[in-house]
Amino acid sequence: GAVVSQHPSWVICKSGTSVKIECRSLDFQATTMFWYRQFPKQSLMLMATSNEGSKATYEQGVEKDKFLINHASLTLSTLTVTSAHPEDSSFYICSARGTDYNEQFFGPGTRLTVL
């Protein structure tokens, strides 16, 4: 159990376009989801925490108007990168925690390349 999926697994887009990444908990209800970003050979960086039905809490330095997070249901959270630029190219990973778990389970990640 405790499977988290992400879609798409990779995406290439032009500068200035918006990209939506979906994170789904497949076999449990995710009360809390987390979004991370990871640059090559660097540590995971937490971007935001979202609880179902509430506004996301963003970490310091993360632009909430650029990285829109929606956690509309107990199985789905989305991250939209608006007006993407090459510096937004990174590996975006979500994790989820359910009501029966203390652990957090990660999705497989989405590799975003902005040209």
Partner 1 sequence: QKEVEQNSGPLSVPEGAIASLNCTYSDRGSQSFFWYRQYSGKSPELIMSIYSNGDKEDGRFTAQLNKASQYVSLLIRDSQPSDSATYLCATGGGRRALTFGSGTRLQVQP
Contacting positions for partner 1 (CB under 8 A): 31-32, 34, 43-44, 46, 49, 51, 91, 93, 95, 97, 102-109
Closest approach of partner 1 to the CB of residue 18, in Å: 23
Alpha-helix residue ranges (DSSP H) falling in 53-107: none
Nearest distance in Å: CB 103, partner 1: 5
Q: One-letter amino acid identity for 71?
A: H
Q: What are the residues facing 106 on neighbouring strands? A: 95
Query: Is there a contact between 70 and 20 (Cβ–Cβ < 8 Å)?
Result: no
Q: Rank residues 5 and 14 by Cβ distance to partner 1 and give the closer one.
A: 5
